[in-house]
Chains A and B, each alone.
Chain A
Amino acid sequence: VSIPSDVRAHLESVGVVDADVVDGAEVVVAPPTADAAASVLGIAGPAGTPVGFVGSGSRPELGGVIDHPIAMSTHAMADVIDWQVDDLTVTVGAGMHVGDLESMLEARNQTSLLPMIDPSRTVGGVVAEGSSGFARLKYGPTRDRVLEATVATGYGKVVRGGGRLVKNVTGYDLPRLFTGSLGSLGLITSVCLKLWPLPAVREMVAVEEAAAAYEFLYRPVSVLETEAGSFVMLEGSASDVSHQRDSIGGHPVASDGGPRLIDLPVTLSARIAPRNLAKAVELVVALDPSRWTAAHGVGTIDAGWGNLARDAFLTLRREIQQMGGTVVVIRGASVIGDVDPWGVTPSGIDVQRRMKAQFDPFNICNPGKLPGGL
């Protein structure tokens, strides 16, 4: 597919970024506003020109590699729009880097709890992936903190859902629908996030047995198992944290200890009911990953390899699926050798298909990224 001349002329007026190169795209465009993004989609749609959305570019393969003549970057929408410090809400452009957001919030003892293991990722990218950080056990997933979303839809309109309020049930839940939608319905241009106060102390503690710590502790921030051992993240006042640490016989780890970023040629995300986590960890570890992190009480195992044989991968996926779980390829489908990134068709596929068609009637927004070929 190449870009029709009238679409290209419109892109020039919005702001083509010649310096940026995105694999699979002829042109990279960086709209400065939600209206500009919507105008591009409004013209690309009837022309049938697919558009791929790009944040920091850390997840190009998620949901599969697609052809998109136009890549739309969020980097020109990276401002703080509205930070209500006392109301614990912040509204930011989708292109803001998570690390920049967290540094800003930290100065006022607040946090968005967005995953910080890769601070160069963008807020929009993390929300569009529905990615949650290590604090999920205690604080729930990222989608529970997206209070408001402004999006440019596949039919070329700017739409806002939710509100800049910590509690609100007014209307259908557009922010949660767009969280984790992988750009399949349109581009998230800004979000309002619920913030939390930073605790006096947050500490990573090494423990002998993660499962026992999960069972024993009252609402720890996280209980993780990794290739380098088991860790519990605790928070509270200094005396509270030290009491909790002693109660499980843990010891503090150096600031560079604990789980590490998993970004290897083959990166998988296995998801399983938490009660089946130990069994699933066994299956993953048997394939000798270079790095892995399993989250107790959550049911996720992230693992990375330099290379992984196709048969081994397919066996792992089948065994995890037999336990009701899924194995998603985050990176390296081509390294493994021609495997579907999802390996499942979602339940309610008819509704999924109709929802995609409602928001992206011309099928131009990251087409094919959702499971089930949507």
Chain B
Amino acid sequence: MPFVEELVALLGPTRVRHHPLDLAMFAKDAGIRSGTVVAAVLPETASEVASCVRIARKAGVPIVPRGAGTGLAGGAVPLDPGLLVVLTRMNTIESVDPVGRTAWVGPGLINLDLSRGVDHLGLHFAPDPSSQQASTIGGNVGTNAGGPHCLADGTTVAHILGVELVTPDGDIIVLGGEVPDSPGLDLRAVVVGSEGTVGLVTKVLVRLMQNAPDVATILVGFPSIATAANTVSHVIASGSIPAALEIMDRDMVQAVERFVGAGYPLEAEAVLLAEVTGTPESVMDATANLRAIATANDASSIRVAVSDAERALLWKGRKAAFGAVAQKAPDYYLHDTVVPRTRLVEVMTKIYEIGERYEVDMLNVFHAGDGNLHPLVAFDAKQPGMLERVRAAADEMVRVSIEAGGSLSGEHGIGIEKRDLMSLVFSEADLDAQSRIREAFDPDGVMNPGKVLPLGSRCFDAAGARLS
């Protein structure tokens, strides 16, 4: 039976999409590249996923998992004509353990729906990417997603205790679980952030965090990026790690204000959005500490949210940053480099210089607390030569980050977008080792081929001798 007919026989006609319009829609994620989809399937169980894998293997078609398609690095874009396994229908909270503070959930569950679904137990899921109203837990696992609140609590990998994985052979295995420190190698940790290259995650055991008894959200205006960044450094050096420390530059503040009207100070060159959480005493202390450090760094305004509504509005400004940019230009290119926090000011200065030199329209919002930069270039791809200019500027911005001891991605992943830059960060031997990790899961290279690692990364044979 031909490939697509076999899928239809398994899932029925409505859960197998192969109309050209569907295929065009599924050929892209939120990044700027598109790929080629042979068919997109919408399975509802792990065993359906396993059957789809077996059908694709038999037909020799590569397999690419996809959640909501909010990824920015092209992770869910099939490079070779492939089967797209869309996991959004597996979107339930299957069980919650309020004592162990964990839950088993489907990979298609939307990030924000998880926290909403356990709020009545006084719990939440800590990773909060800006896409959290749309992105799925499975996608968060795939990219090891971050978000503002990862400063204190870590990225997704610290919040995933176990995964059910359909292997490239179509077997269903469970890695990790509610019991700590499973004997054997920690394969669960490797699955998180593997961008769909080691198998398909069909169920996730998430760690849930207690909702804080008290919280303060503080918005501070500064006369420069440097004074805002210094405040961040001094706060952390003072011995307190807030829940979040976000900086936006003047252009981004202007865009956000026009979009949501959150009351951000329009005259400031930089705005710091900070959040401290904990017991009422600790929140009071941390707020006073932050206020003192901000004042010493020439803060032009300090506003502490006095109600839940005001807090939500301040955060809405931050989370709507990328939506706000859509008003400026039809396309945007978003970076995700990381630098040591102490090099922030130096690297930002260079990034502004690059933006000016290439004459691109750049706005900045970044996770200052952990040195995760997000220069955002707004542009119109229809303008001749524009995309090339944006890409060239992007390349330089990545290089200045790496030169400062930084890395390619803090939370978006490598996908196809940063694949060929991996050798800026890793040696040949390092990339060979990463290929080995991948091959242990997928010896035949059928899962999301062409992603994460540059082609030809595998370069040593068993004895460590160079492969010809």
Contacts and interface: CB of A to CB of B under 8 A. Distances in A.
B278 A218 contact: yes
Interface in A137-181: 140-141, 143-144, 153, 155-161, 163-174, 176-177, 179-181
B409 interface: yes
B422 interface: yes
Given A342-B183, A346-B184, A169 B433 contact: no
Task: Bin the interface of chain A by size.
Answer: 35 or more
B184 A372 contact: yes
A47 to B, nearest CB: 11
Interface string A52-89: 00000000000000000000000000000000101111
Contacts of A357: 440
B279 interface: yes
Given A140-B158, A180-B186, A169 B144 contact: yes
A164 B367 CA distance: 17
Chain B residues touching A, range: 35 or more
Contact of B433 (A153, A163, A244): A153
A354 B439 contact: yes
B182 A299 contact: no
B122 to A, nearest CB: 10
A198 interface: yes
A143 B384 CA distance: 48
B215 to A, nearest CB: 11
Interface in A264-310: 269, 271-275, 297-300
B237 interface: yes
Contact of A167 (B155, B413, B426, B440): B155
A351 B187 contact: yes
Contacts of B182: 326, 346-347
A258 to B, nearest CB: 21
B187 A352 contact: yes
Contacts of B342: 84, 86-87
A300 B174 CA distance: 20
Contact of B463 (A46, A236, A325): A46
B7 interface: no
Contacts of B279: 218, 236, 240, 243-244
Nearest to A174: B433
Contacts of A346: 182-185
A199 B238 CA distance: 10
B460 A355 contact: no
A42 B146 CA distance: 38
A239 interface: yes
A36 to B, nearest CB: 15
A80 to B, nearest CB: 17
Interface in A228-281: 236-237, 239-240, 243-244, 269, 271-275
A121 B453 CA distance: 36
A143 B180 CA distance: 12
B463 A273 contact: no
Contacts of A163: 338, 407, 425
A348 B430 contact: no
B179 A326 contact: yes
A357 B441 CA distance: 12
Contact of A166 (B237, B341, B422, B425): B341
Contacts of A237: 281-282, 285
B23 interface: no
A328 interface: yes
A351 B199 CA distance: 11
Nearest to B167: A351
A304 to B, nearest CB: 18
A196 interface: yes
Given A240-B282, A243-B281, A354-B443, A174 B437 contact: yes
A35 to B, nearest CB: 11
A328 B440 contact: no
Nearest to B434: A172
Interface stretch (B35-43, B46-54, B188-196, B292-300): B188-196
A2 B92 CA distance: 57
Interface string B232-250: 0100111111000000000
Contacts of A153: 433, 464
A157 B460 contact: yes
Contact of A240 (B285, B339, B405): B285
B371 interface: yes
B80 interface: no
Contacts of A87: 340-342, 371
Contacts of A196: 241
Contact of A160 (B190, B236, B430): B430
5 contacts: A167-B150, A173-B189, A197-B239, A218-B212, A271-B179
Interface of A: 42, 45-46, 84, 86-89, 109, 130, 140-141, 143-144, 153, 155-161, 163-174, 176-177, 179-181, 184-185, 196-200, 218-219, 236-237, 239-240, 243-244, 269, 271-275, 297-300, 324-326, 328, 342, 344, 346-352, 354-359, 361-362, 370-372, 374
